[in-house]
Chains A and B, each alone.
Chain A
Amino acid sequence: MLKYAGTELNKARHELMMAASGSDALEWDGPQGDRPADWLRTKANSIEGGTSEIMLSILSRRVLGLGA
């Protein structure tokens, strides 16, 4: 559950930081430094080490007993 919630939260957190930084975060090496590169990197969080879909599948089978 923490893998799912944590990675999705991290993606949302970086989306918010990009929006709050406005055009400053649209430049590579701009006033926000690595922010755009960090933002793009978070998109892999919900894929690597087991996708969010795999995590949700495990939760529905093991925790909720659906389709077990």
Chain B
Amino acid sequence: MSAMAKLVPTEDETLLGDSARGFLDSAAPVSHLRGMRDAGRSHDPDLWAKMVEMGWAGVLVPEAQGGADMGHAAAGALAGEMGRTLVASPFLSAAVIAATALRQVADGRAGEALRRIAEGGVTYALAVDEGPKFAPEATAMQARPEGNGFRLTGEKRFVVDGGFADRLLGPAPSGEGLTLFDLSAERAGITRDPRPMIDSRDAARLRFEDVEATGADVLGAVDEAVTVLAPALRAGQAALGDETAGLAAGAMAMTVGYLKERRQFGMPIGNFQALQFRAAHLWSETELTASAVLHAGRMLDSDPDNAALAVSLAKARATETAQLAVQEGVQMHGGIGMTDDFDMGFYMKRARVAAEWLGDYAYHAEEVARLRGF
């Protein structure tokens, strides 16, 4: 196994993760999300501006366009730290998904868009879902050819960050296949309906009514959205796996702390073997998941054409581990775990939304089975 393929973080990734944790612990602990929710806000542009300043928006942008080009494992290290304290930001939508899509397209316009992402001048949202479950191939939105361009009509839902993003990235059937469009969210005919989500983050329903799109709005080639979209989805799924793994680790840390502190029958409840076994089992799951998500990042960096299996494995596993972590978290905290004054509920709600976004456990388990030839 080459050094690159080892399932431990490199020195650079460790440094990046440590500095991210230091920053997020003070700038965006869970209380920050709570404050945003209580104020009725789902996006904090000032926090994102600080992340941009630290170079996070350009983590996947080539150096020629002002990025750091550190790769997917590094992007995953950042996403993992964001998961730990439930940080809400357009990092996944803009810096991971949109940046990866734009990198598949070697033209001047895509290069300029990458530069804008890295400098924080533009945010993106991926508009792919049309039904309640993730199914990117089942796109019913119409792209009707007209003159040199198209007219788009249809609806997209569960568009994460779609309530505030500057630009929208979305596929529509255009005849022989899907075409990927990259549009200003302010384009005439687009209406955005931000929804109150259980994780207190931004997601919107979008309606397209006879929206004019020209050839300049097409990302990649007409009818060939998949060439650009598939790598972008994989990058997003991997980073979301990282975020979810970080969420599980954050919830577990809270729970283990409580087991040491809460006393019953004259001793800390962590002295009871029944709880020790469950805590140790949860820790084992988080360790395996940490390796799975790091492996997905490594595959995207070293062999992206063959990364689908590692990515689906990571997303599926992280989803399961996070569910275990938040369920055990609530149960082991007892009654106070249920209260809103306690942060565990925030972890549980974010875990549920992250489980659905970009494919749930069943979707990715099916991908793993298919890729393994079952």
Contact = CB atoms under 8 A, between A and B. Distances in A.
Interface in B309-355: 323, 327, 330-331, 334-335, 337-338, 345, 348-349, 352-353, 355
B158 A47 contact: no
A55 interface: no
Contacts of A26: 158, 197-199, 203, 352-353, 356
Could you say which of B134, B331, B353 has the most chain A C-beta atoms within 10 Å of its C-beta? B331
Contacts of A44: 335, 338
Contacts of B331: 43, 46-47, 51-52
B176 to A, nearest CB: 29
Interface in A1-56: 11, 15, 18-19, 21-31, 36, 39-40, 43-44, 46-48, 51-53
A23 B338 contact: no
Interface string B49-90: 000000000000000000000000000000000000000000
A60 B362 CA distance: 35
Contact of A24 (B132, B134, B334, B349): B132
A47 B353 contact: no
Contacts of B361: 19
Mostly, the B contact residues are helix
B262 interface: no
A30 B158 CA distance: 11
B279 to A, nearest CB: 13
Nearest to A46: B331
Given A22-B131, A26-B353, A27-B196, A53 B274 contact: yes
Mostly, the A contact residues are helix
Given A26-B352, A43-B348, A44-B338, A36 B132 contact: no
Contact of A27 (B197, B330, B334): B197
A54 to B, nearest CB: 11
Contacts of B348: 40, 43
B338 A43 contact: yes
Interface residues of B, number: 32
Contacts of A51: 331, 334
A48 B352 contact: no
Interface string B244-278: 00000000000000000000000000000010000
Contact of A29 (B196, B355, B356, B360): B196
B318 to A, nearest CB: 16
B199 A48 contact: no
A19 B319 CA distance: 12
B108 to A, nearest CB: 36
B21 interface: no
List 7 A-B pairs, minimum CB-CB distance, nearest first.
Answer: A22-B132, A23-B158, A22-B133, A24-B132, A28-B196, A27-B195, A44-B338
